[in-house]
Amino acid sequence: MTETTGKQTLSEGVYLALHHEMLNGHRLPGERLKVSEIAGRFGVSLSVVREALTRLAEQGLVVASPQRGFAVATVSVDDLRDLTRARVLVEALVLRESIANGDVAWEASVVASLHTLERTPLLDAEGDISDEWTAAHRGFHRALLAGSGSTRLESVATSLRDCAELYRQWSRSLAHDEDRDIAAEHRRIMELTLARDADTAAAALTEHIERTTTVLLAYAEDRAADVAGSTRSAAGGDGERIGAG
Q: Residue 55 belongs to what domain range?
A: 3-72
For 137-155, write each residue's pLDDT tens digit: 999 999 999 999 999 999 9
Residue 234 forms part of a structural domain = no
Specify the number of domains making up the chain: 2
Q: Looking at residue 69, what DSSP letter applies?
A: E
Q: Does residue 244 form part of some domain?
A: no
- From 19, 92, 90, 85, select the one nearest 54 (Cα to Cα): 19
Q: What is the pLDDT of residue 177?
A: 60
| Mean pLDDT of all residues in 73-95 | 91
Q: Is residue 239 part of a domain?
A: no
Cα angle 173, 74, 128; round to 5: 20
- Place 238 in a pLDDT band, splitting at 50, 70 and 90: very low
Q: How much is the pLDDT for 79?
A: 86
Contact predicate 173/124, CB 8 Å: no
CATH number at residue 60: 1.10.10.10
- Asked if residue 190 and residue 114 are part of one domain, the reply reads yes
Whole-angstrom distance, CA of residue 205 vs CA of residue 190: 10
- 83 with 188, same domain: the answer is yes
**Residue 42 pLDDT class (50, 70, 90 cuts):** very high
Q: What is the pTM of this model?
A: 0.71
CATH of the domain at 87: 1.20.120.530
Same domain, 147 and 166: yes
Residue 218 within a domain: yes
Check residue 127 and give its pLDDT. 81
Beta-strand ranges (E) seen in 66-189 are 69-72
14 and 108 in one domain?
no
Q: Is residue 164 part of a domain?
A: yes
Angle, to 10 degrees, between the axis of helix 104-119 and the axis of helix 182-194?
A: 170
Please enumerate in sequence order all residues whose Cβ is within 8 A of that of 111, keeping only pairs 6 or more positions apart, or say none: 190, 194
29 and 121 share one domain: no
89 lies in some domain: yes
